[in-house]
A and B are shown apart, each in its own frame.
Chain A
Amino acid sequence: MAVEAVESRTSVPHTTPSFGPAVALSCRECGERFPLGPSFACVSCFGPLEVAYELPAGDSEALRRRIEAGPANIWRYAPLLPVPADVADRPNLNPGFTKLVKADNLARELGVTGGLYVKDDSGNPTHSFKDRVVAIAVEAARAFGFTTLSCSSTGNLAGAVGAAAARAGLRSCVFIPHDLEAGKVVMAAVYGGELVGIEGTYDDVNRFCSELIGDPLGEGWGFVNVNLRPYYGEGSKTLAYEICEQLGWRLPDQIVVPVASGSQLTKIDKGLKELVALGLVEDRPYRIFGAQAEGCAPVSRAFKDGHEVVRPVKPDTIAKSLAIGNPADGPYVLDIARRTGGAVEDVDDERIVEAIRLLARTEGIFAETAGGVTVGVTRKLLEDGRLDPSLTTVVLNTGDGLKTLDAVAAGPTATIPPSLSAFRAAGLAGL
């Protein structure tokens, strides 16, 4: 097992790394196992490596009590994550345990009777779900002795890495497409690390980072979504854990997840399966639905065409956080959607904006474009009968609308002089 060949060079960690219940990296394609290290692709088949665990066996009630007594962030699930037991005591952004909003107004509008919930991850420290994955990656970076944190990003991740690095006392250098939304660029730049705009699409940025990681120029760098990706991805499991705990330790019947690389959807599925295996929730069927923007819908297209592989596309959509034309985990999204009886669907930019407005108008949640995609796809799936309105349904909002202000042209209803007569004349009286 030539594991040395896939590891990146690092400085020597100060202490023996601890990864809690994690015991190995396992290839999702061929099953070959490797020691825990900064590795991300299988030497035999190039398949993605993921963290394998020996999870706590036995008393599920005791585990549930332990989790419920934990901090109100993702570290309450530390016994199920590749992190040391004392993780909550180390400088980190401590994301998670965001609100699960019972969206009764939206449910009425969409005709959902079985309970509709929005998991609102805009409440994280840098206002997207990326804080979850980065928090785990920071711990892995520490364990492997990396001194610089890096990533390729469509925007949200760049901010999450910059902030987490600042808090953890690491350097950061993050790479983004040069034409991102201003809100995301400012969010990425303000934490003081290096922010590099690459003249190209996200897929170009990702390719660049993949080449940098194999070059001496990238020595000592922990790329959260390249050589730390197996650990990073595990952070998305916490979305599944929280949803179930917040539903009263119950699986949702249906869940709608945005798809960019597809990592989040696959890890939500992994998290749900773990909770079943641990006896923390009752084993019952659930269906997972993927949501994409029509202007970047390679997984949705493959799903509709019945393909098992995903043909890359050139993205063209306002949903830039989902604009990954060559999604690494696309094949697994297809597998999961088909296995669970779900689907992968897409909506155009106009419906994305309508959905952002709908969620804001009905629930007071201002979602970024990715949230518009999930709500828009939810509406579409309800309209064509693929989502069952009588079942408990959870829709993810993974980011904050303040980062994508340009997508929604909104302004004052009226601009008037400060007088009652002008107010009356504008037709606003008696609203």
Chain B
Amino acid sequence: MSVNVRIPTILRTYTSGKSEVSAEGATLGEVIASLEKNHPGIAARVLDESGKLRRFVNVYVNDDDVRFEGGLEAATPDGAGVSIIPAVAGG
């Protein structure tokens, strides 16, 4: 499964400044592993020491917040858009 991942500004040091990169994986966890393979260091920014999504990271697969869709187990269909966004906005 190939997906398109939107990278927030604060992670673009790992993607040579690119705001979008492609990654492989049938679940969000696999997509993050794929990102880490091609952009070493990025997973540790998104995941905490226990391997869970950090509490101030929001991830969307297409329009769905993955917290409603199984977190790292959320399915990432072929061609999906994955968006990683800092959660500390709004209000």
Contacts and interface: CB of A to CB of B under 8 A. Distances in A.
A419 to B, nearest CB: 54
A41 B45 contact: no
Contacts of A152: 89-90
B22 interface: no
A46 B7 CA distance: 13
Contacts of B87: 46, 326, 328
A83 to B, nearest CB: 20
Given A29-B56, A48-B56, A207-B58, A43 B88 contact: no
Given A229-B89, A328-B88, A328-B91, A211 B13 contact: no
A interface bracket (residues with beta carbon within 8 Å of B): 35 or more
B55 A41 contact: no
B85 interface: yes
A262 interface: yes
Interface in B7-60: 8-10, 12-13, 19, 45-46, 54-58, 60
A46 B65 contact: no
A40 B86 contact: yes
Interface string B73-90: 000000000010111111
A206 interface: yes
Given A41-B86, A261-B90, A46 B56 contact: yes
Interface string A249-270: 0000000000011111000000
A311 B67 contact: yes
Nearest to A262: B91
A62 interface: no
Contacts of B9: 5-6, 8, 213-214
A81 B46 CA distance: 32
Contact of B91 (A49, A207, A327): A327
B62 to A, nearest CB: 12
B54 A45 contact: yes
Contact of A5 (B12, B58, B83, B89): B12
A225 B89 contact: yes
Contacts of B90: 152, 202-203, 206, 209, 225-226, 261, 324, 328
Contacts of A29: 56
Contacts of A225: 89-91
A363 interface: no
Contacts of B85: 207, 210-211
A43 B91 contact: no
A59 to B, nearest CB: 36
Interface of A: 2, 5-6, 8, 29, 40-49, 152, 202-204, 206-207, 209-211, 213-215, 223, 225-226, 229, 260-264, 309, 311-312, 324, 326-329, 331
15 contacts: A5-B10, A5-B13, A41-B8, A41-B86, A42-B10, A43-B10, A46-B10, A46-B87, A203-B65, A210-B58, A210-B85, A210-B86, A312-B68, A324-B90, A327-B91
